[in-house]
Amino acid sequence: MLRFTLNGKTVETDLAPDTPLLWAVRDGFKLKGSKFGCGAGLCGACTMHVDGVAQKTCVLPLAAVAGRAVTTIEGVTATGAAEALQAAWVAQSVSQCGYCQSGQIMAASALLAQNPNPTEADVEAAMAGNICRCGCYPRIKSAVLAAAATLAPDAVVQGTPFKDAMAREASA
């Protein structure tokens, strides 16, 4: 029996220890917000947090999360960063088909938890492992910066006030 914390609650599973965490969460615990994309750790659709760090869970065995805290898109909505991201996502109409979006939010929320004042380069680096087949990258970056500005309104991007950086993003 393997035990870990899932969205703040202790859970147990008798699935094989080499079962990918993504399948355990989707099929075992019926949380379907995290998506299967490539299954090879390349696209980020399956991103969850493990002890607050964004992880590609299609290639992460259950054994690796024993005793650790796993958060999915269903659980991350309780945090302030996720609320700011959700508002920015809606305001900027980020999503197109939506398939990659839970992974994008998980990567972005892990970034803002670790670095509440990211530069554009920080955002690009943190989001580089999350592919969007609809090509929403400019809106995703803009929304992450907007959420950061909401959380830290006096922050700057590479020496530029956020409102100016946002205006530059909007006109790009």
- Cβ 22 to ligand FES shortest distance, Å: 7
Query: How far from 92 is each of 30, 71, 97, 140, CA to CA, in Å?
Result: 30, 25, 15, 9
- Cβ 78 to ligand FES shortest distance, Å: 23
Which one, 105 or 136, has the nearer CB to ligand FES? 136
| Interface residues toward ligand FES, by CB under 6 A | 36-39, 41-46, 56, 58, 95-101, 132-134, 136
List the end-to-end C-alpha distance of the chain, in Å, as a whole number. Answer: 52
Q: Which of 63, 133, 150 is nearest to 98 (CA)?
A: 133
Which one, 4 or 89, has the nearer CB to ligand FES? 89
- Cβ 146 to ligand FES shortest distance, Å: 17
Could you tell me if 168 and 145 are in contact, meaning their C-beta atoms sit under 8 angstroms apart? no
- Cβ 10 to ligand FES shortest distance, Å: 25
Which one, 100 or 157, has the nearer CB to ligand FES? 100
Tell me which DSSP letter residue 58 carries.
G
